[in-house]
Amino acid sequence: MSDKAKKLRLGILISGRGSNLIAIANNIRAGTLPGVEIAIVISNTASACGLAVTRELGLPGEVFVSKGRPRAEHDADVAACLRRHNVDLVVLAGYMRLLSPEFIHAFPNRIVNIHPSLLPAFPGIDAQHQAFDYGVKVTGCTVHFVDEHLDHGPIILQRAIPVLDTDDADSLSARILKEEHKAYSEAIARIASGDYEFQGRRYVRRKA
Ligand code: GRF
């Protein structure tokens, strides 16, 4: 991923509204996420609002309905589509489907996810509500590589958000989402730069 002449081709997987997809696409267009292009957007539901957005943005999109299909079989279709589009990095953006081990092993350290809490706190669904109900004073979002365990892989970056006394779970979620829209592009830029490396679980800037 360090070949500066070649753009990093993203395959973005969605299930819903697609606001992170929009933020990434806008940053690419604005030139603030250089060296990156969206090769394909894939949804696992035909009704995802993010599909309409994909069309409006003029991006290629495909649907592979997952409901009722064995996970490995559905994932094999998605993986084949990603390969057809020469995808370098799989970007989960509100993809509400667990990935099979086969899929994860097919793209080692090449799948990223954004999670709306400071992992390892509050993995799983409704992380913003979990954090709010727990009463933490700081939460945030985490961009991480995906491994076989839920919300667990090496962290690329995190952004902290204070929880205000005046917050409810919705106002807190809205502030986290706003930060997500910046954080995801920054994390992708780190990967595209080729300037970062793994030291065990740590993903850190290479020494000059
Ligand atoms: C975001 O909150 C993200 O952290 C979580 O799913 C949500 C997706 O939102 N993984 P959107 O579809 O990108 O608007």
Ligand 1 within 6 A of 177 CB? yes
Q: Which atom of ligand 1 sits closest to the CA of residue 115?
A: 4
Q: Please identify, in words, the CATH class of the domain defined by 113-208.
A: alpha beta
> pLDDT (tens digit, 9 = 90+) per residue, 69-123?
999 999 999 999 999 999 999 999 999 999 999 999 999 999 999 999 999 999 9
Burial 159-197 (b: 16+ CB within 10 A, else e): bebebeeeeeeeebbebbbebbbebbbebbbbbbbeebe
Amino acid at 113: N
Catalytic center residues? 115
Query: How does 16-27 read in b/e, with b if 16+ C-beta sit within 10 Å?
Result: bbbbbbbbbbeb
Write down the residue that tokens 């839920």 correspond to: 150
Ligand 1 pocket residue status of 9, Cβ below 6 Å: no
**What is the pLDDT confidence band of residue 3, given thresholds at 50, 70 and 90?**
low
pTM reported for the whole predicted model: 0.96
Give the closest residue to 74 by CA, choosing from 40, 43, 107. Answer: 43
Nearest to 41 by CA among 30, 28, 54: 54
Task: Enumerate the domain spans of the chain.
Answer: 1-107, 113-208
Cβ–ligand 1 contact at 61 (below 6 Å): no
Please identify, in words, the CATH class of the domain defined by 1-107.
alpha beta
